[in-house]
Structure 1
Amino acid sequence: MKHRIASILLLVLLLPLVALTPTGGRIPSYAQHGMVVSASTIASEVGRDILKKGGNAIDAAVATAFALAVTWPAAGNIGGGGFIVYRDHQGKVTTFDFREKAPLAANAKMYLNEKGELIDELNHTGLLSVGVPGTVAGLYQAHAKYGKLPWAKLVQPAVELADKGIPISYALNQQAKNMRKTWEQFPSTMAVMYKGDKSYYEPGETWKQPELAKTLKRIKKNGRDGFYKGETAEKLAAFMKANNGIITTQDLEQYQAVERKPVEGTYRNVKVFTMPPPSSGGTALVEMLNILEGYDLKALGYKSADYIHVLSETMRRAFADRAEHMGDPDFNPDLPIAKLTSKEYAARLRKTITMDLASASDSSRYGQLYEGTSTTHLSVVDEQGGAVSLTYTLERSYGSQVVAEGLGFFLNDEMGDFNPVPGVTRTDGLIGSEPNQIKPGKRMLSSMTPTILEKDGKLFMVIGAPGGRTIINTVLQVILNVVDHDMNIAQAIEAPRIHHQWLPDRLNFELYGLSPDTQEKLKIKGHNINELNHNMQGNAMGIIVIPQSGLRSGAADSRSADGGVAGY
């Protein structure tokens, strides 16, 4: 006890020094017992309260995820899917895959016209873009195996939020204004997101969601069957049939989440546990860390031209491999995960990186050349040291843009994550490789990268982010910022980020993220650089357990308008 008090006092004394560091000066939030970080302060507080009532990390993650379905409808969801990486307090790590699936009536050419061309937006907007949702099944399975508190107690807070209403935030108000033209196509969406006279809910006004509350009550009472059978399933299937969707009650009843072994790796003095396929994120993350382990990144100089060059070239190689190899392991039993995550393979790739010249991204050769926007994330750490890294998604912000009529929740547009034009890969970023082509019952490829790190056998870090393909590189850079550059979790998350995804061959960086001198040096090396004037790099949510004191140190990315940390 004396040691812990002394550690806390030391941290208090050091806070002014932390605030003066040159990487942004953000100070994390601290908690002694448990902590939740998510895209919604309200939802984080729900999860924290579950921890205070004796729940474990799984319990808190489930409660937070359901709360996000009410407070953050752009991505928090019961109409989408995602992944959990879970480490119990004894160090056992497992994962849950509740990625959406293609409906049984889906086929590889369902989004093409008679000329074999992709019909604009057909795989991203409207009911034909919807994959069979997995969130409720995944949360229920994780809780059934590892949860502690009764299921009903975990769903009840979300029921109350939907029933009694939440205050409209500025972000939700602005999103409703920005999306109005799109949502006017869908009466069921207008009925939920606007008042009866179709006016906006203004910031601070109470927004009630009675239809969502009824759906959540069925889930609370009947668990998984409250979504995949009975009234909810029948209403969803009827809505699909009436509006050219193809999901049926059979699709819903047959859906199953899967518990899988994590992808594991090491980076310097930490051990990495992350998500296996159908997420590509974990494999790509470990591949990149293995490559970068061969460089003294600190000596290169944080955000120097050489540092950015090495990161970009590493990203380029991992994303080429992602495009060529990754897909649903149940349909692709020979995915070369062991090879892609091996130190030997990374060493070969490292030899192909030259410090003075950028590589080319060849759409016809994938990674062979080198051999020789809405999701949300939550992180939880409980008092016993159990941890959850959970990322789930509707795909783009608000998914298909369609609210399920009479059910109150947005449906995903995850079918857009399949390779839509078989065999066609182009320099603009369209990928057509076989492992991720559409087949009935298949899970579409994902970039979600929920990750947990250990140091000296103890829980060290829980991290993840939304952001489409940028997710992988966001998680990578936060880890590098902590491990290589000694940043605290807030500084590591707030630091400007870069992104390269092989195709299109473009190095993106955030506004003000690189100095003019660095930009010029990167151009000389042959990089096609592109400064973003908006946030395209996701909103990371992370927790570090400080080794000396055991304190939980957390931060919600300020790129997330409503994000927040809650601990006790």
Structure 2
Amino acid sequence: MLLYPRLVFSFFLVLSVNFPIIAQGGRIPVRAENAMVSSSHYLASEAGRDIMARGGSAVDASVTTAFVLAVTLPSAGNIGGGGFLVYQSANGESTTFNFREKAPLAATKTMYLDEEGKIKDNSNHEGILAVGVPGTVAGLYKAHQKYGKLKWADLVQPAIEIAEKGFPISPEIEGFSTWLLQNKEVYPSTARIFLKDEQTALRSGDTLVQQDLAETLKRIRDKGSDGFYKGKTAGLLTDFMKAEGGIITREDLRNYEAQELDPIKGSYRGYEIISMPPPSSGGTVLIEMLNILEGFDLSKKGHNSAESLHLLTEAMRRAYADRALFLGDPDFNEAMPLEKLTSKEYAADLRQSIEPHRASVSDSANFSEAHLIYESPQTTHFSIVDPEGNAVSLTYTLEQSYGSKIVVEGAGFLLNNEMGDFNPIPGHTDTRGLIGTEPNQIEPEKRMLSSMSPTIVAKEGRPVMIIGSPGGRTIINTVLQVIVNVIDYNLNIAEAIESPRIHHQWLPDVTRFEDWGFSPDTKRIYQEMGHEIELRSVQGQAMGIYIDKESGMIFGAADSRSYDGKAAGY
């Protein structure tokens, strides 16, 4: 885990001189008449918005936004990681793109274990063996081939220009650079990019230029996905792997393909829920929780009241237990009971087991023997709607903050450490959070299970809300609460995102509360029901858009829990 200190988030409004319809997160949403991008960095939001102003589609804007984030948000934006894209058109067509990373061909179920069957030196999270085969470039290219309107090269160019000219860094990058100065011998290729010089860390406001990354992006601009998976970039990556003891080969890169998948769908109080199927667990778990909650009148119980929080917790508890037991890569798990898990009938059965004023117990004897494995909160999400009303919800990640923290020498991009999302010890479960259930054990070319939950909420086939968040295992619950805040409590998209959040994941049997925003009485009553509380500073960085059906006005919100998040529209 990255060891630099957490810095304080800003909660003030920022107005741009050049583009007045841009604001940092707050309780007042940004308004626009035509199109909107909400992302974790203002430069990415502006670039995506400008692409749509030039006639680009929501998918075009997502390509540009994602590549700019790969430059400006190195902790999570990436070309060395992977993720998921959910698309919903204005006429009701929906689909998803799966570009989750894969295990290399040389990977084995026990590759991280020593002779005693224990994990060696946290090697599934740290070091070159923790890297999965990247999927981001393949996924963006595949989506563009189907739904893009502008030329691919024009969509990548804004990221190249920012990488070459540089941009002023945030306090978050300063924190990483300060940490890196103390660890430069371990990460020499990364130090050459993210230190000012051998003895000096970058400071907030310094300009970060990334010329090697710009050259890599130029090859992607000129040759599409082949510019990453073949040719010079592939050679730089595989040569670096070989030199450092990694196992990703040119064959791994040639074999990688993104997938177009049918979305997983549900409904909630007359709204349609369109989300990501496995290997993301997000859509399945989200719909299961919403189905359970649909049987309760949450609006009468009050927003974030102890009784409402109790019901949310009980829905979370049950759905996360099913996540651990059943979900994994569908190419390696044919028997996942997705239809059952997302059915109204199954939710009704689960609802009957919820007592109105008493907490259940997360008992492995009743729910299975699985515990949830650690997932880092360092991911990023953006939401987009274009002038035609088409929508994209995209979440992608490197896993931990800055992924493996390893930059490919000469290529300028950070590598993920996603192999840590697999179950590392087959058949072994313990109270520290390790699980060993078969659906998510390591196999060559298998995709690791994820909690990423890019989601679109529609009404009569037309998108009305686009939402998602980073946050590891908390992602699904963050998305759940934003949706409930809008539909049940009639909050605007900014208020829904800014509201304090909770998280329960079945095991450990504790509810995490953001340590602000909940009254002492609410926490006391909640605890008297039998719940245990653990306080955390923040949960997630949701990026959302709401489209008013009657007026057509678009409202965007970037979570103020993000350093540089912005909603940009026109």
| Band of TM-score, shorter chain | over 0.9
- Distance in 2, matches of 1:383 and 1:367, equals 47
Q: Which segment drifts farther, 474-483 or 300-309?
A: 300-309
User: Percent identity among equivalent residues?
Assistant: 60
Please tell me the residue identity of whatever aligns with 2:301: L
Q: Counterparts in 2 of 1:241-320, with a 5 A limit?
A: 241-320=242-321
Residue 201 of structure 2 aligns to a residue whose secondary structure is coil
Aligned to 2:540: 538
C-alpha deviation, 1:125, in angstroms: 1.4
What is the root-mean-square deviation in Å for CA atoms of aligned residues? 1.5
| Residue 210 (str. 1) matches residue 211 (str. 2) | yes
The aligned counterpart of 1:170 is 171
Please show how residues 132-151 of structure 1 align to structure 2 within 5 Å.
132-151=133-152
SS in structure 1 of the partner of residue 292 of structure 2: helix
Q: Report how far residue 120 of structure 1 moved.
A: 4.0
Tell me which amino acid in the other structure corresponds to 1:49: D
Structure 1 residue aligned with 2:323: 322
2:564 aligned to which of 551, 562, 565: 562
SS in 2 for 1:233: helix
1:50-103 residue CA offsets vs partner (Å, 9 max, x unmatched): 000000000000000000000000000000000000112322000000000000
- Partner in structure 1 of residue 11 of structure 2: none
Residue 458 of structure 2 aligns to a residue in which SS?
Answer: strand
C-alpha contact 2:178 2:202 (8 A) present in aligned 1:
no
For residue 252 of structure 2, give the secondary structure of its aligned residue in structure 1. helix
Amino acid at match of 1:104: L
Once the 2 structures are TM-superposed, how far is the Cα of residue 196 of structure 1 from its aligned partner?
2.9
Give the Cα–Cα distance (whole angstroms) in 1 for the partners of residues 157 and 302 of structure 2: 50
Task: String of CA shifts for 1:305-325, please: whole Å, max 9, x gaps.
Answer: 111111111101000000000
Indicate the SS of the match to 1:33.
coil
Q: CA deviation at 1:521?
A: 1.9
- What is the Cα deviation at residue 236 of structure 1? 0.5
Superposition deviation, residue 262 in structure 1: 0.3
* 1:239 and 2:240 matched: yes
In the alignment, the residues of structure 1 paired with residue 518 and residue 36 of structure 2 have an alpha-carbon distance, to the nearest angstrom, of 33
Preserved contact between residue 74 and residue 402 of structure 2 (Cα < 8 Å):
yes
1:272 alignment partner, SS class: strand
Whether contact under 8 Å (1:190, 1:198) holds in the other structure is: no
CA change 1:183–1:401 in 2 (3 A) is farther
SS in 2 for 1:106: coil
What is the distance in 1 between the residues matched to 2:279 and 2:517? 32
Residue of structure 2 equivalent to 1:411 = 415
Mapped to 1, the partners of 2:390 and 2:425 lie a distance apart of 43
**Contact persistence 1:427–1:505 (CA under 8 A):** no
1:100-145 per-residue CA deviation (whole Å, 9 max, x = no partner) reads 0000111111111211112342111111100000000000000011
Q: Give the secondary structure class of the aligned counterpart of 1:469.
A: helix
Segments of structure 1 that go 5 or more residues without pairing to the other structure are: 1-23
TM-score, scaled to structure 2? 0.93
Query: C-alpha distance in 2, partners of 1:479/1:68?
Result: 25
Q: Report the Cα offset of residue 531 of structure 1.
A: 1.0
Q: 2: distance between equivalents of 1:547 and 1:390?
A: 22
Partner of 2:123 in structure 1?
A: 122
Q: Is the 8 A contact 1:27 1:491 kept in 2?
A: yes
Kept in 2: contact 1:183–1:401 (CA 8 A)? no
Q: Letter of the aligned partner of 1:384 in structure 2?
A: E
Q: Is the 8 A contact 1:317 1:367 kept in 2?
A: no
8 Å CA contact 1:450–1:464 kept in 2: the answer is yes
- The one-character-per-residue Cα deviations of 1:318-355 (angstroms, maximum 9, x if unpaired) are 00000000000000112110000000000000001112
Name the residue aligned to 1:527: 531
Structure 2 residue 100 is the aligned partner of structure 1 residue 99: yes
Distance 2:446 2:35 in 1: 37
Pairwise CA distance, 1:182: 4.4
User: What is the letter of the counterpart of residue 123 of structure 2?
Assistant: L
Which one of the candidate residues 495, 500, 506 is aligned to 1:502? Answer: 506
What letter corresponds to residue 151 of structure 1 in structure 2? W
Corresponding residue of 2:401: 397
Task: Determine the C-alpha separation between the residues in 2 that align with 1:384 and 1:266.
Answer: 24
Instruction: Give the one of 490, 493, 518 matched to 1:489.
Output: 493
Contact residue 48 and residue 61 of structure 2 kept, 8 A? yes
CA distance in 1, matches of 2:348, 2:184: 50
| Structure 2 counterpart of 1:200, one-letter code | A
SS of residue matched to 1:185: coil
CA positional deviation for 1:368: 9.5
Whether 1:153 aligns to 2:154 is yes
The code of the aligned residue for 1:525 comes to: M
- Structure-1 separation of matches of 2:462 and 2:261: 22
Structure 2 unpaired stretches of 5+: 1-24, 371-376
Q: Which of the residues 387, 392, 403 maps onto 1:388?
A: 392
What is the CA–CA distance in structure 2 between the aligned matches of 1:507 and 1:130, rounded to whole Å?
A: 31
The answer to whether structure 1 residue 53 and structure 2 residue 58 are counterparts is no
Q: Give, in angstroms, the shift of residue 428 of structure 1.
A: 3.0
Secondary structure at the residue paired with 1:531? strand
Does the 8 A contact of 2:181 with 2:195 survive in 1? no
2:43 is aligned with what amino acid?
I
Q: 1:35 aligns to what?
A: 36
User: In terms of mean alpha carbon deviation, does 56-65 or 518-527 score higher?
Assistant: 518-527
| Superposed CA offset, 1:377-429 (max 9, x none) | 01000000011000000011101111111111110010010011111222332
Deviates more, 1:547-556 or 1:427-436: 427-436
Q: 1:497 to 1:142 in 2, by over 3 A?
A: same
Q: Does 1:438 align with 2:442?
A: yes
Paired residue secondary structure (1:522): helix
Post-superposition shift, 1:459?
A: 1.6
8 Å contact from structure 1 (residues 540, 556) kept in 2 = yes
User: Does structure 2 conserve the Cα–Cα contact (< 8 Å) formed by 1:69 and 1:76?
Assistant: yes
Greater CA drift, 420-429 or 487-496: 420-429
Distance in 1, Cα, partners of 2:95 & 2:145? 14
Deviation at 1:522, TM superposition (A): 2.2
Alignment length (residue pairs): 540
**In the aligned structure 2, how far is the partner of 1:295 from the partner of 1:504?**
25
Question: Could you tell which deviates more after superposition, 517-526 or 53-62?
Answer: 517-526
Letter in 1 for 2:197: G
Pairing 1:376–2:377 present: no
What secondary structure sits across from 1:195 in the alignment? strand
